[in-house]
Amino acid sequence: MIRKVLLVLPLLLSCNYADISFIKPIIQFGFNSGGDELVTITHDYYNESYTIDAGDGVNLEMGMAIENPINNFETQLLVGYKFDKDSHGDTTWSMIPISALAFINAQGWKFGGGLTYHINPSLEGSLTYNGSLLRDDFDNALGGIIQIQYEMANTFAIGLRGTFIEYQLSRDPSQKVNGNSIGLIATIKFGGTYSRYR
């Protein structure tokens, strides 16, 4: 999946050289935590354990920012990959988030939010339970996002993101898990000026 996302990057970067200066390619990196516990992995050999919650994960997103400087308004369209895995790589929680966000810009601060759609949420690993490998697939899920960021320059911003979402187990719709999370988010924007004061 990461390779597919990276293949799209040159296309996104090429937007910067077209005559559409209000559209900027962006990359976002995030670290999120929260939600219900999905699994705890205990490694007897290393004498340690690792817990994966439904809101946990590192995410990489790519897309575009559509700016309207007259109204101090910005729209972001993003697609990415979010995952968490235990320290020894035995178990992985992953999904593909697609998000549409809108922001109001005020003196370097960006306030906003929008919708996110998580595709193929799944928990899988090499651990065995009752003779079978760990594998839990969840239905695609729609959720909401609120986000605040500070733009240190037109090319870079850092802030906080809250995600509100619930996942439903595919094989048993009566089982649902809370995937709400809060996380740090950093945005790199291509084609902006180095400093917003210049």
Is 89:52 a contact under the CB 8 Å cutoff? no
Whether 198 maps to a domain, the answer reads: no
Least confident of 83-97, 143-157, 178-192: 83-97
Is 61:99 a contact under the CB 8 Å cutoff? yes
Give me the domain span that covers residue 133.
2-189
Highest mean pLDDT among 8-12, 23-27, 88-92, 194-198: 23-27
Question: Which phi-psi region, left, alpha or beta, contains residue 162 (left: φ > 0; alpha: ψ -120 to 50)?
Answer: beta
Whether 194 maps to a domain, the answer reads: no
So what's the pLDDT on residue 17?
A: 45
Asked if residue 4 has pLDDT above 60, the reply is: no
List the CATH number of the domain containing 78: 2.40.160.20
Q: Which of 198, 193, 188, 148 is closest to 26 using CA atoms?
A: 188
So what's the pLDDT on residue 159?
A: 97
Span 47-72, pLDDT tens digits? 678 899 999 999 999 999 998 878 89
Is 82:29 a contact under the CB 8 Å cutoff? no
Q: Give me the phi and psi of 22, to 5 degrees please.
A: -80, -5
Whether 196 maps to a domain, the answer reads: no
CA angle (14 as vertex; 9, 19 as ends), nearest 5: 150
CA atoms of 106 and 72, how far apart (whole Å)? 7
Beta bridge partners of 91: 125
Span 66-113, pLDDT tens digits? 988 788 999 999 999 999 998 766 789 999 999 999 999 998 899 999
Say what the pTM is.
0.81
Whether 151 maps to a domain, the answer reads: yes
Number of domains in the chain: 1
Whether 197 maps to a domain, the answer reads: no
